[in-house]
Structure 1
Amino acid sequence: MNKLLKKYIVWPSHSECFTIAQQFFEASGYPDVIGAIDGCHVTCKIPYGQHDSYQDRKFNHSIPIQAACTTERIFTHISVGYPGAIHDARILQESSIGQITRDNADTLFYTRFHLVGDSAYPCKTWFMSPFRDNGRLTQQQKKHNYALSRARVVIENVFGLLKGRWRILNFVNVYSIEKAMKIITCCCILHNFCLINHDDFDAAHNFEHEHRGNYEEQVVDDNGAQKRMTICDMF
């Protein structure tokens, strides 16, 4: 499975990033985006004794998928296996993306590109998230948030497509966390395999995005804030 994962879920090369960024810009008006990222919880049977760790905010026992995708709905990164109680920003921090960017963000983002996500995520030079709506947003900030939302929405559509095609993800009924992780990962690999081979699927399955609200302070570093304001000034 690891060989298939490395073959079908691949981070874009430098040259591919320019093409992906152009596609995102045409779709949303937001510049230099090479992926939209979000989390999706997969309800699973969890062994007794680990229920608290895997209980999500809806009080289900789940394993989250955190994934980044392109406008063509192809996964370029997935992270599977963290307990459902863990916050999205923590999963990002502990994922391979977070680990690599701690040493050198340019390794993945080539000095200019970034991911986009909702307000649960940090604002960094390689990750653009919306301005928190405190009731005092300027018109430019509102326009910025709208364009970012248009770029980000594709990942919600992809999760809907994933769960619509692979119905096992509505409830993974195996009494092993390791096996559940493999099933979830295999479904993500098969998703890319099908799209790459033009086996499209348009089942009507609505992914219910969880509105997380402002229950946790958004992390904004100085360089990320400066880059976000530069982009905001374009609107």
Structure 2
Amino acid sequence: MIYHYLSKKLLLTLWIIATPESFRSVADRFGLSKCVTWKIFKEVVWVLKRIMPRFIRWSNDVECVESERIFRMRSRGFPGVVGAIDGCHIPIKQPPGNANDYYNRKEFHSIILQGVCDHTGKFIDCLIGRPGRAHDAAVFRSSNIYGRLIDEANPLLPSQRHIIGDSAYPLLKNVMTPFRDNGNLTPEKSMYNTTLSSIRSIIERAYGLLKGKWRRLKYLDVKSIDMANHIIAAACTLHNFLILHNEIAIRENVNIDININIEHEDYNSDENDNDFQNENGQMKRQEIANRLLQLKRQEIANRLL
């Protein structure tokens, strides 16, 4: 009897996160009152949020080696990539009090989910809760992962490894971003940008899969920002749980909708944090660009032999 009741509570919560169905309709479906349904939902979401660190954690060395190998293979030569970073807007109901902070440049209220995913689309780091008005670069600088990446005494990644992001992010030794396209890119820079973009799309697909599976995230109709954050955390936990248990595979979901309110490179030049470039990052990026062009030329030469 207890097992049956616990299963019912979990199934009810999964149903709510996976559908845009109203709480009244879900309550009728499960034979409960609306008040009890809401209470159960809050309880289970809180538990899923609490266990989030068990399922969303930074890759260990073995996992990093595997990610590097897969990203290099998919990109035909881009070295050292262990993950891709981007920010995603989760639409919310206008919050009371400081609604202006959550009103983003796309003219709706939102909470920002910053995620880093590996080659499988599994999140290896998440920051949830920054208001939608914030710029991706500002969100990144406020995150724990940024502090760990620039910590010279105990760096998160060795010098040869990095995550990749779009031009909203700062170029660092362990964060590779595109070259600014001023219409006069050299061949190696153009190839670098194209290659980086091709493998960076994994984070967009991860967000598409997240919102496609857990459709409640397409609009969170809750008054409490804390509750909205808990629902997002619960969905991210479930996303990783399914990937870890081989229940979903991002490479097999070819129809993923990636029109999911990701912050793209439509910033004014004075807002683009890539202006604040790290010298080590610049040298490393140029070396990678040169290497990619060399590999491409070698590939062409081999075909002609």
Asked if TM exceeds 0.5, the reply is: yes
1:26 aligns to what? Answer: 73
User: Which range moves more in the overlay, 76-85 or 91-100?
Assistant: 91-100
2:56 aligns to what? Answer: 9
1:60 aligns to what? Answer: 108
1:224 aligns to what? Answer: 281
SS in 1 for 2:78: coil
Q: What is the rounded CA distance, in whole Å, between the counterparts of 2:136 and 2:194 in structure 1? A: 21
Which 4+ stretches in 1 moved above 4 angstroms? none
Residues 163-191 of structure 1 deviation map (CA, whole Å, 9 limit, x = unaligned): 00000000011100000000001100100
1:74 aligns to what? Answer: 122
SS in 2 for 1:103: coil
- Higher percent of residues as helix: 2
Residues 120-165 of structure 1 deviation map (CA, whole Å, 9 limit, x = unaligned): 1111101000001011110110000011111100000111100000
2:265 aligns to what? Answer: 212
Decide which structure has the larger Cα Rg and report it.
Answer: 2
Shift of 1:91: 1.0
Q: How do 1:128-167 and structure 2 match up within 5 A?
A: 128-167=176-215
Task: Report the TM-score when normalising by structure 2.
Answer: 0.73
Change in Cα spacing, 1:135 to 1:214, as seen in structure 2 (3 Å) is farther
Q: How do 1:78-227 and structure 2 match up within 5 A?
A: 78-104=126-152, 107-200=155-248, 202=253, 204-208=255-259, 209-215=262-268, 216-217=271-272, 218=274, 219-227=276-284
Q: What is the rounded CA distance, in whole Å, between the counterparts of 1:212 and 1:150 in structure 2? A: 15
Q: What is the rounded CA distance, in whole Å, between the counterparts of 1:168 and 1:105 in structure 2? A: 41
Q: Say yes or no: does 1:45 pair with 2:98.
A: no
Structure 2 counterpart of 1:213, one-letter code: D
Unmatched segments (≥5 aa) in structure 2: 1-47, 294-305
Change in Cα spacing, 1:229 to 1:106, as seen in structure 2 (3 Å) is farther
2:10 aligns to what? Answer: none
Residues 94-116 of structure 1 deviation map (CA, whole Å, 9 limit, x = unaligned): 11101223333853112321000
Structure 2 counterpart of 1:175, one-letter code: K
Shift of 1:2: 5.4
Q: What is the rounded CA distance, in whole Å, between the counterparts of 2:91 and 2:179 in structure 1? A: 31
Q: What is the rounded CA distance, in whole Å, between the counterparts of 1:168 and 1:221 in structure 2? A: 39
Q: What is the rounded CA distance, in whole Å, between the counterparts of 1:227 and 1:137 in structure 2? A: 17
Change in Cα spacing, 1:105 to 1:40, as seen in structure 2 (3 Å) is farther
Change in Cα spacing, 1:105 to 1:210, as seen in structure 2 (3 Å) is farther
Shift of 1:210: 4.2
Shift of 1:42: 0.3
Task: Please tell me whether the aligned partners of residues 44 and 171 of structure 1 are also in contact (alpha carbons under 8 angstroms).
Answer: yes
Shift of 1:212: 3.0
SS in 2 for 1:181: helix
Q: What is the rounded CA distance, in whole Å, between the counterparts of 1:200 and 1:105 in structure 2? A: 38
Task: Please tell me whether the aligned partners of residues 165 and 203 of structure 1 are also in contact (alpha carbons under 8 angstroms).
Answer: no
User: Which range moves more in the overlay, 176-185 or 89-98?
Assistant: 89-98
Task: Report the TM-score when normalising by structure 1.
Answer: 0.94
Shift of 1:203: 8.3
Change in Cα spacing, 1:113 to 1:149, as seen in structure 2 (3 Å) is same
